[in-house]
Amino acid sequence: MADTAFHQPGKPGYILTMGEILVEIMATERGQSFREPGTLIGPYASGAPAIFIDQVAKVGSPCAMIGCVGDDDFGVLNVERLRVDGVNVSGISVIKTATTGSAFVTYREDGDRDFIYNIANSASGHLSVGNIRDDLLRQCSHFHVMGSSLFSFRIIEAMKKVIETVKGHGGTVSFDPNIRKEMLRIPEMREALDFILDYTDVFLPSGHEVMLLASASSERGAIEEILKRGVREIVIKRGKDGCSYYDGSAEHDLPALRVDEIDPTGAGDCFGGTYIACRAQGFAIERALTYACAAGARAVTQRGPMEGTATLAELDDFISHASEQSHG
Ligand code: ATP
Ligand code: MG
């Protein structure tokens, strides 16, 4: 049965994620460099898992996040933003001795981004098994893993614990690798990604990431290999080229909506949050994909990583305007 990855009769629960919470501060001009002073804008709420879960909340699914912030205004900005948007923030710890994570971003002329991160040495780097609240785990029916969060062995250990517990009580797991190739050269990282993939029900890679976790030499071969491992749904994100869905029996290709890209940060996270929340609410695959594509397209039209998160009503509105434009 293709449509069963989210079937949990009588067991509606939280969608949970865990990982880095940070502020993002961005250069205002394309081509600007951090080797000399320039104009910056921010702080904006950010962190890939935080953007994901904010989008889940906007789609209206009960959800929670486990993470760490410092005792500072960057932390307040993030936690308040998530709370106001409907995320249960009781699993976010305030670390008195650390500062909230940050990322500074410049944009090249071609739109590519360069980042200076302070995450591993920030409050987010303190995240460990000790931060996992048992009550959140018990109520969790779906856990989302962001590969970008796997930056310390303590976090990998914590991820494994949550995954095993959630799967142990009949929950499901989604995984967005969000990974840099260099990370795969660390043997323990490869092992951690393999572990996670073995428990994954819904896999949400970017186009180039499909091949990274399979031995096959073609995308098609990699998809088959990953489905054989027990993954039930694969949704490949293809930026301006939309997305593709595979589950072994059905396949769907959806084009992207045509938009002017202002800031690509957060598109994949908004896409993933929308897809997972829609599927958890029982939406059919194609309807969930349509909303997910709209969420990704809408995200790139907004400056700021989390500023593009949107409710289903906002996405309906966005879809109808986008289709008007393509017909006009
Ligand atoms: P990241 O590089 O930040 O990790 P990602 O690879 O996870 O991003 P993308 O493929 O860039 O995710 O974007 C997710 C989805 O958002 C795409 O599948 C597409 O539907 C939509 N999207 C992204 N960029 C655009 C764009 N420029 N125009 C229209 N839709 C877009
Ligand atoms: Mg991504």
Q: What residue ranges line ligand 1, CB within 6 angstroms?
A: 178, 206, 237-240, 242-243, 256-257, 259, 261, 264, 267-268, 271, 293, 296-297, 300
Q: What is the pTM of this model?
A: 0.96
Distances (CA, A) of 233 to 29, 188, 246, 252: 39, 26, 6, 11
Report the run of H or E that residue 134 belongs to, with start and end.
helix 134-138
Cα separation of 169 and 178, whole Å? 27
Confidence (pLDDT) at 1: 41
DSSP-derived letter for residue 206 is B
Q: Name which residue sits closest to atom 6 of ligand 1, judged by CA.
A: 206
Cβ contact 104:45 at 8 Å: no
DSSP-derived letter for residue 200 is -
Confidence (pLDDT) at 196: 97
224 vs 325, more confident? 224
User: Distance, CA 13 to ligand 1 centroid (Å)?
Assistant: 28
Confidence (pLDDT) at 238: 97
| pLDDT tens digits along 283-315 | 999 999 999 999 999 999 999 999 999 999 999
| pLDDT tens digits along 99-158 | 999 999 999 998 888 999 999 999 999 999 999 999 999 999 999 999 999 988 899 999
Q: Name which residue sits closest to atom 30 of ligand 1, judged by CA.
A: 297
Q: Name which residue sits closest to atom 16 of ligand 1, judged by CA.
A: 296
Average pLDDT on 183-202 reads 90
Three-class SS of residue 253?
A: strand
Please choose from 265, 300, 319 the residue to mutate so as to test ligand 1's pocket, defined by most ligand atoms within 8 A of CB: 300
The alpha-helical segments, DSSP class H, found in 144-284 are 153-168, 187-199, 219-228, 267-280
Q: Name which residue sits closest to atom 11 of ligand 1, judged by CA.
A: 239
Cβ contact 108:82 at 8 Å: no
| pLDDT tens digits along 79-93 | 999 999 999 999 999
Closest CA to 308 of 276, 268, 281, 256: 268
| Residue 325, token pair as written in the block | 């434009």
Q: Which CATH superfamily is domain 13-327 in?
A: Ribokinase (3.40.1190.20)
User: Distance, CA 63 to ligand 2 centroid (Å)?
Assistant: 20
| pLDDT tens digits along 226-276 | 999 999 999 999 999 999 999 999 999 999 999 999 999 999 999 999 999
| pLDDT tens digits along 18-72 | 999 999 999 999 999 999 999 999 999 999 999 999 999 999 999 999 999 999 9
